[in-house]
């Protein structure tokens, strides 16, 4: 099948992306623990916005991602993907799922 990733090279991890995700998750976990004022992430962990806002955002952003894909809008695809990843990490933290569990789940599928 052309276009299908195969072989060891396709399994390599982009360390810079992994670092960014780990750092972002650490920031999210810090916001959850310390709830600094003026932080958008804090507002998601409190009644100011809360869990429903996270779920709504994920729903909206997923729809926007699908539309961007249909339009072949490369820039918008990247933008919406970043929004989804951020809100997904917030949701995982909110539900006490560690990013290492996601990492392990993905690794198991190799």
Per CB under 6 A, residues contacting ligand PRT are 24, 27, 31, 39-42, 57, 83, 86
Kindly tell me which of 24 and 94 has the beta carbon lying closer to ligand PRT.
24
Which residue, 83 or 103, is less far from ligand PRT as judged by CB?
83
The residues, any chain, with a CB within 8 Å of residue 93's CB and separated by 6 or more, are: 25, 28, 29, 32
- Judged by beta carbon, residue 27 or residue 97, the one nearer ligand PRT is 27
Helix, strand or coil, per DSSP, at residue 39: coil
Smallest gap from residue 92 Cβ to ligand PRT (A): 14
Residue nearest to ligand PRT (CB): 41
- Give least dist CB 33 to ligand PRT, A: 12
User: Within a 10 A sphere around the Cβ of 80, how many other Cβ atoms?
Assistant: 21
Contact 20, 29 (CB under 8 A): no
Is 21 in contact with 89 (CB distance < 8 Å)? yes
Which residue, 53 or 97, is less far from ligand PRT as judged by CB?
A: 53
CB of 46 to ligand PRT, least distance (A): 12
Give burial (CB, 10 Å; 0-12/13-18/19+) of 73: middle
């Amino acid at each position: 099948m052309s276009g299908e990733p195969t072989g060891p090279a396709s399994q390599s991890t982009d360390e810079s992306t992994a670092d960014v995700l780990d750092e972002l998750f650490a920031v999210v976990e810090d916001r959850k623990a310390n709830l600094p004022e003026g932080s958008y992430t804090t507002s998601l962990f409190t009644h100011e916005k809360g869990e429903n806002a996270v779920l709504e955002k994920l729903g909206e952003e997923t729809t926007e991602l699908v539309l961007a894909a249909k339009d072949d809008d490369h820039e918008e695809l990247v933008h919406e993907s970043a929004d989804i990843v951020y809100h997904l990490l917030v949701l995982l933290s909110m539900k006490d799922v560690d990013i290492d569990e996601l990492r392990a789940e993905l690794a198991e599928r190799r």
